Structure 1
Amino acid sequence: MHLLSAHITNFRRFADLTIKEIPKTAKLVVLAGPNGSGKSSFFDALLLRYRLDSHFGWNGDQKYYNRQHSETATWDKRITVETDCGNTLNRGNVYVRTAYRNDPDFQTTGLTRQENILDNPPLHRMIEADATVSVNYQRLASQAMEDVFQKESPTTTIGQFRENLIGKIGVSLNRLFLDLNLISVGNPVDHGTFEFSKGMSKKFEYKNLSAGEKAAFDLILDLVVKRDSYNNAIYCIDEPETHMNTRLQAALLKELVELIPDNSQLWIASHSIGMMRKAREMYDADPSSVAFIDFSGVDLDEPVVLTPTKPTRAFWRNVMHVALDDLAELIAPKQVIICEGNPSGNVPRKNSNHDAEIYGAIFAEEFPDATFISAGNSKEVQNDFIGLAAVLPKLATGIEIIRLIDRDDYTIEDINDFKNKGIQVLSQRHIESYLYDDEVLIALCNSVEKPEKSADLIDEKRKIIDEIVKNGALSDDIKKAAGKLSVKAKKILELRQAGNDTPGFERNTLSKIIKPNMGIYKKLRFDIFGLR
């Protein structure tokens, strides 16, 4: 079953809310927005409609459900839905998990027969405790007893039986935690609990799992146990990321989507970076499979119509601010220096960010909030060819953009014109002119405790420059001398693991030699930041 639209009036946060145009192909629907924006209230409406349509009844809590407490509960008119299977939510059509999932420890000393999963859903409201691990343990263990004595083939081995019982749960869990393996349900009549192996530990009990491990295990366990009963359903999970780090959030969402039946649909309410990032990856792979509904900035006191939004930059900016609040500004750089160099694009190329990495290494200590980005050749940087200077300040307020180009053969008039346009120009031809400056070469010799070699190294530099000049190059075009000079430096100083090629030598060795107390550092700092 796939939910296509819903209309909710005078219910909890909603005066008049319509969500529509959900693609029938969407297997994942993400409700995004800050706390208190109505995401959980939407799940409450679906849950109540499901209980009424399936004749489970409701708890009569008018003060919880009604926006105006005096109104009669005409729910058939106040909550309407459209699905690809009709306008009624029958038994097995809605699966719900609240955000209050906490089963820190349990042990059993006996088995209790569990009622049919669809007979009486335990939840009435999205504020209720939703601890299911111990119940699912009882369900698995009692089902195992029934299988052993009534259903299982006489030829089934213990290993096959265990695989049938917990294999699917263990496989999903192991994809999330490589060193965590579900091995047993223990002894259900003697302090029974789930048992795991973790690293060198065997029979690692459920109670010893971390909060994140328990949270992930809970969701996976519940889906595996109930997916056959909810084989044509709308699955609603409120804040599935609780207790989890960003990487785990993303991996868990992938598992959840793969675990629900093919003809079902997963709805999550989340403001976590990990979940959003994975949902975006899935959207990029197949835009028809994921829908985002954005509750941010919506005035629910007025009639509102929400339709799927495309994951634009504006949408992701809202997501970042909801997830990180002030940290969104904290992690954004204060300065972005757009310099020359080939941007790596989708397929990283060797040395594509060469200049940016060198600048970053040199100024990391004094300018930790500055980020250097390679953005093409001189013309492309000047004209903001890939749009960084235009876009970045809109993603996070307060970013200063500096465009930086090499000196090359530009005239003084050209340079003055660039500066009038806010473009900084190196005072020397290119970054290699700074890296192979005599002061840097002397510092290099000192760094390996061979100061006596500095005169030899500088002499070799002069010879190499003379050679390239004879071949038609300009004397300040140090880039053309860099290859031979880097080889000579490594040979004279007997350097090992100093960089496999010339660009590597420049990034990994020379850039780390340039320090704030050096004249060449101060010259480069002035060229870029305008600071003396």
Structure 2
Amino acid sequence: MRIKKIQLKNGYKRFHDLTIDLGENPQRIIALVGPNGCGKSSVLDGMLFLNNAYNMIGNKGSKDHNYHSMLQTPNFDFQNITIHFDEGEFYKIKHIRGQQGTENTMFSFRSPYRYNSNLKVAEARATQEIRLNYYGASSSSDLDDKMEENYRRLNIKFNRFLKDNSSTATYDSAKAKIIGDLNASLKNCLDLEIVSIGDIEDNKGTLFFKKKDHPREFEFNVLSSGEKEIVDILLDLYLRQEDYNNTIFLIDEPELHINTSIQKKLLLEINKLVGANCQIWVATHSIGFLRALQADLKGECQIIQFRHGVSWASSRQSLFPIKKSIANWKDIFETALDDLTGLVSPKQIIYCEGKDKPGINGQEKGFDAKVFNNIYGEKYHDTLFISSGGNTELDQRSDIALAILSKVFSQIEILVLKDRDVSSGKINDENDRQVYLQNNQDHFRIMKRWEIENYLYDKEVLKVYCDKNSLNFNESEYDKFVTNITDQNLKDETGRIKKICGITTSINPEVFKLTLSEYVTEEMEVYKELEKCIFQRE
């Protein structure tokens, strides 16, 4: 089943009247490409608005006219959306699918706000059939918390295999079948493999992984944000393969927190996991995804481009797939980089870890970037730190991304700065750091201390902070607790540091750390040490 045409009319969200016409032979993958705020997500919301009027997807509830209507018109309803499929009109397909009991597998949706920071299931419980599509996001603005429910479904799938094959199946054969199929996709994206689905009854209700260079198994919760994103997306698609075999898959910005080189691999795996009779709509401005569409999937995709300067809100517009010419691809890649246009003035851009999606008016949202800009913004006024996704590691960007950036910013030096915590839980030391620097290109940097908190929670910084704020710094307690400022994991010890500083009220950990960064000055040893790591590559 594939969509041929969709129309959003009478002021649906940001559009006065928009038609997307894919022609008589719509392709398998439809990529919605354009700058932030152009309406890519609104197109996906329109499809959900129509579908949810009959069968709700997700468990976040429906949105009213204040969400769906540009003018917040009361009684604005789903009839302002029309969808034509290659198999007929929406209502005809919905009726047929209703008779088959598959009406709510017409669409599968992932919002950009995928929540998967923690997975620890303490008790088993029944889950509804996956074909009912009742959990997760219901619109593009909703939290998409599918990971725990999908973990339960993976357990059920595993145990059902053992039961259905009781005469021949063993634990190892079930693991090879159920986890093996999922690992086949996972290992094509990451140096990561699921080795166990845990044991809920033994208080180990989580997934366990291994890496080639890691000495022991580790659980889902210690993965980086990017790794969690990939596991989340691939697991969800894997579990839907049987019931969602004639479905429109809607995926909003699946590249968040994932570095460019892996983005390309992820799209290829998404394409493999989604059934042959399905269609994939993806809203993206990812360089990695665009490279996959250009090089690997060019015969299976259509690109819908939302251009700058179009009067979407005041005039009727029709969009058709663009011709995939060199000139158009150049224009698309420029669009993918358009959120960097405000960085033309710096002479040096340093990518560091953190949230890669900018806030309102392009403001930096990544914590580390804010800290570094606070500390070095005055002395290195021509340098700008920006977040580049992934909270615990930054992998090398793909050659195509660096090539484009160097052409767009020909006079700008581009660096990549990593924490010393460059792997999931693996211990390393100064010798490892030097080996890393010796065996990587000159634009890579790595901090001497474990993470940014090891600099912010340095005694030198805390004493100045307490003195300026008339707080009593407990130096003896600090010395008992912080025994190795270089290597000790202090990231989650804000509460302890707060007590040492004599702070008795509740505080926001991120705000507290950002405040500390404002007290780091040039004469401090901690400033000089970090400066050498970043700007002198020592």
Instruction: Give the equivalent residue in structure 1 for 2:505.
Output: none
Question: 2: distance between equivalents of 1:397 and 1:181?
Answer: 38
Instruction: Give the equivalent residue in structure 1 for 2:7.
Output: 7
Instruction: Give the equivalent residue in structure 2 for 1:507.
Output: none
Contact preservation (8 Å) 1:112, 1:142: no
* 2:102 paired with 1:100: no
Q: Which amino acid in structure 2 is aligned with residue 216 of structure 1? A: I
Q: What's the CA shift string for 1:434-483, capped at 9, x where partnerless? A: xxxxxxxxxxxxxxxxxxxxxxxxxxxxxxxxxxxxxxxxxxxxxxxxxx
Instruction: Give the equivalent residue in structure 2 for 1:250.
Output: 264
**CA offset at residue 56 of structure 1?**
6.9
Instruction: Tell which deviates more after alignment, 61-70 or 259-268.
Output: 61-70
72, 75, 78: which is aligned to 2:78? 75
Identity %: 31
Q: Which amino acid in structure 2 is aligned with residue 81 of structure 1? A: I
**CA offset at residue 54 of structure 1?**
3.5
Instruction: Give the equivalent residue in structure 2 for 1:309.
Output: 322
**CA offset at residue 120 of structure 1?**
4.7
124, 135, 138: which is aligned to 1:111? 124
**CA offset at residue 23 of structure 1?**
5.5
- CA radius of gyration, larger in: 1
1:8 aligns to what SS in structure 2? Answer: strand
1:202 aligns to what SS in structure 2? Answer: coil
**CA offset at residue 60 of structure 1?**
4.7
Question: 2: distance between equivalents of 1:75 and 1:52?
Answer: 7
Question: 2: distance between equivalents of 1:329 and 1:315?
Answer: 23
Distance 1:325 1:73, change over 3 A: closer
154, 158, 181: which is aligned to 1:144? 158
1:201 aligns to what SS in structure 2? Answer: coil
Question: 2: distance between equivalents of 1:166 and 1:326?
Answer: 39
Pairing 1:219-298 to 2, within 5 Å after superposition: 219-284=233-298, 286=299, 289-297=300-308, 298=310
Question: 2: distance between equivalents of 1:130 and 1:327?
Answer: 28
Contact preservation (8 Å) 1:6, 1:80: yes
TM-score normalised per structure 2: 0.58
Question: 1: distance between equivalents of 2:266 and 2:70?
Answer: 35
2:242 aligns to what SS in structure 1? Answer: coil
Q: What's the CA shift string for 1:347-374, capped at 9, x where partnerless? A: xxxxxxxxxxxxxxxxxxxxxxxxxxxx
Instruction: Give the equivalent residue in structure 2 for 1:163.
Output: 176
**CA offset at residue 154 of structure 1?**
1.0
Question: 2: distance between equivalents of 1:252 and 1:26?
Answer: 19
Question: 2: distance between equivalents of 1:311 and 1:70?
Answer: 39
Instruction: Give the equivalent residue in structure 1 for 2:200.
Output: 188
Pairing 1:398-477 to 2, within 5 Å after superposition: none
Contact preservation (8 Å) 2:22, 2:321: yes
**CA offset at residue 314 of structure 1?**
4.0
Question: 1: distance between equivalents of 2:56 and 2:36?
Answer: 31
Question: 2: distance between equivalents of 1:210 and 1:308?
Answer: 36
2:238 aligns to what SS in structure 1? Answer: helix
Q: Which amino acid in structure 2 is aligned with residue 157 of structure 1? A: T
Instruction: Give the equivalent residue in structure 2 for 1:202.
Output: 216
Question: 2: distance between equivalents of 1:397 and 1:171?
Answer: 38
Q: What's the CA shift string for 1:51-93, capped at 9, x where partnerless? A: 22437796252100112223423422x1010112222253211
Q: Which amino acid in structure 2 is aligned with residue 202 of structure 1? A: R
- Structure 1: 5+ residue runs without aligned partners? 332-391, 400-532
Contact preservation (8 Å) 1:32, 1:292: yes
Contact preservation (8 Å) 1:111, 1:141: no
Instruction: Give the equivalent residue in structure 1 for 2:87.
Output: 85
**CA offset at residue 274 of structure 1?**
0.7
Instruction: Give the equivalent residue in structure 1 for 2:141.
Output: 127
Pairing 1:279-428 to 2, within 5 Å after superposition: 279-284=293-298, 286=299, 289-297=300-308, 298-301=310-313, 302-325=315-338
Instruction: Give the equivalent residue in structure 2 for 1:42.
Output: 43
Q: Which amino acid in structure 2 is aligned with residue 282 of structure 1? A: D
- Structure 2: 5+ residue runs without aligned partners? 95-102, 345-403, 412-538
Contact preservation (8 Å) 2:57, 2:138: no
**CA offset at residue 282 of structure 1?**
3.0
**CA offset at residue 167 of structure 1?**
1.4
Q: Which amino acid in structure 2 is aligned with residue 291 of structure 1? A: Q
Question: 1: distance between equivalents of 2:285 and 2:23?
Answer: 20
Contact preservation (8 Å) 1:62, 1:69: yes
**CA offset at residue 258 of structure 1?**
1.1
Instruction: Give the equivalent residue in structure 2 for 1:64.
Output: 67
Q: What's the CA shift string for 1:212-262, capped at 9, x where partnerless? A: 111111110000011222110010100011111111001111110111000
1:37 aligns to what SS in structure 2? Answer: coil
